[in-house]
Structure 1
Amino acid sequence: MNEKDVEKLYREFHTPPHVRAHCKAVADFAVDLGKKFIAAGQRIDLKMLRNAALVHDLLRVVDFRHFEPRKWEYKVSDEDIKCWERLREKYKGMHHGDATAEILEKRGYGDMAQVVRRHKFIQVDEGFDTWEEKILYYADKRVKHDKVVTLEERLRDGKIRNVPEGRDGEHEKRLDRKNFELEKEIFDAIKTAK
């Protein structure tokens, strides 16, 4: 996959501009981290990592908690809305990472699909198999819209936008702790750079 292929996917699935901007910011941050891992002696597939980050929210519209595209800050077409409604119906009840991974697998990008599938918030509780999975997950948790912010700020924002009221209990606190543990693991790993 290359950036032209990514752009084709964005067009095919009418990925909204604000989601594309987020994906690009996540990709830039993930690649920066990946380069630090390489400098520390780790093997990282930077090309796959970048492409996975660029498409990790390709189908983000399928599980938007609040889906009101006519209220977005830019004009959306009737064609965009029809596409998004079809996608929301087809992938109803699925996490957008799973929906995107399904598409990637069908197109022969199995390794990338696995990395994309594992960027969902609860994955930190279930664990990761590769540094690429950890890096994409963490980079996504550090980018609020299209800006890199602290992990604390991003987690707070994610709760406001994505966690149903009344669900900020012990489970969510444990996930937050695991996110901070992952952050420490990542920065401990890249501190060994020569």
Structure 2
Amino acid sequence: MIIPNEDACFRLLEKYGTPHHIVLHSEKVWQVARILAEALLRRNHALELDLLKASCLLHDIGKYPCIVDGSKFHDIRGEEILISEGYPAVARIVVQHVILRTEIPPIAEEHVLFYADKRVVHDEVVTLENRFQYLQDTYGKTAKAVERLMIMKQNTVQLESEIFNLLDFAPQDIPQLLEEYSRK
């Protein structure tokens, strides 16, 4: 399995024209995911940190190309890009950051990325309630879109419960844990 390191991830983001604010978002998603993953690893859950890091940093690589050509489904575009670049393992996770396609348990990299992405608006950690309000305000233009977002919210709340049942801290502790981590 070939996984791009951090420098390679940033080169790919640049190659595909990813705007700075999306890069900042992706970095914050990785910070949240790292807190969760390290806690899960301490509890003997099998996760590949390098794979998760690359997936977090690259999860929105398809967004700018979709903006440019007016297409939808930046998750699928990201998968296509990453496969073409030789990173199918990362692609398998990135394609799931909008719609999860794997069952839980066990908690895997795609679940951690999916959840971490739902906790970050731009580059700020927020509650699920705030994130889904943002998503509804931004993307809830039709009744069908609102319905999809409500289903996604229900699934995300369930995933949050699954993840935090395994941990010794609560979802609302993430901002404080990030602050503590940044001081190390």
Going from structure 1 to structure 2, the CA distance change for 1:147 and 1:127 (only over 3 Å counts) comes to: same
Match runs of 1:107-146 below 5 Å: 107-120=85-98, 123-124=99-100, 126-128=101-103, 131-146=108-123
| Pairwise CA RMSD | 2.1
The 1:23–1:189 alpha-carbon spacing in structure 2 relative to 1, beyond 3 Å, is same
Spell out the pairing of 1:36-47 with structure 2 (5 A cutoff): 36-47=39-50
Match of 2:8 in 1: 5
Structure 2 unaligned residues grouped into runs of 5+:
170-184
Distance 1:4 1:138 in 2: 24
The match for 1:105 among 78, 83, 87 is: 83
Q: Extract unaligned runs of 5+ from structure 1.
A: 65-84
Letter in 1 for 2:130: E
Q: Could you say which residue in structure 2 is the equivalent of 1:96?
A: 74
Q: Does the 8 A contact of 2:139 with 2:145 survive in 1?
A: no
Structure 2 counterpart of 1:59: 62
How far is 1:171 from its partner?
4.9
Using structure 1 for the length normalisation, give the TM-score.
Answer: 0.77
* Distance in 2 separating the partners of 1:174 and 1:35: 28
Q: Residues 180-191 of structure 1 correspond to what in structure 2 (within 5 A)? A: 180-191=157-168
- What TM-score, normalized by structure 2, do the two folds share? 0.81
RCO higher in structure (CA 8 A, sep ≥6) = 1
Deviation at 1:173, TM superposition (A): 2.9
Structure 1 or 2, whichever has the larger Rg, is 1
The Cα of 1:190 is off from its aligned counterpart by: 2.3
Q: Deviations over 1:48-103 (max 9, x none)?
A: 10111001001212445xxxxxxxxxxxxxxxxxxxx3xx26xx34x111111111
**In 1, distance between residues paired with 2:66 and 2:164?**
31
CA separation of 1:173/1:10 partners in 2, compared to 1, >3 Å: closer, same or farther?
Answer: closer
Match runs of 1:140-155 below 5 Å: 140-155=117-132
Residue 159 to residue 29, structure 1, CA distance change in 2 (3 Å)? same
CA distance in 2, matches of 1:170, 1:106: 33
Q: Distance in 1 between matches of 2:64 and 2:147?
A: 28
For the residue of structure 2 that corresponds to 1:190, the secondary structure is coil
Alignment size in residue pairs:
164
- Give me the whole-angstrom Cα distance separating, in 2, the residues matched to 1:134 and 1:186: 9
Contact persistence 2:66–2:77 (CA under 8 A): no
For 2:60 and 2:145, the matched residues in 1 are separated by 24
1:179 Cα deviation from its structure 2 partner: 1.3
Contact 1:118 1:128 in 2 (8 A): no
Per the TM alignment, residue 161 of structure 1 is displaced from its structure 2 partner at its CA by 0.7
Q: Matches of 1:168 and 1:107 in 2, distance apart? A: 31
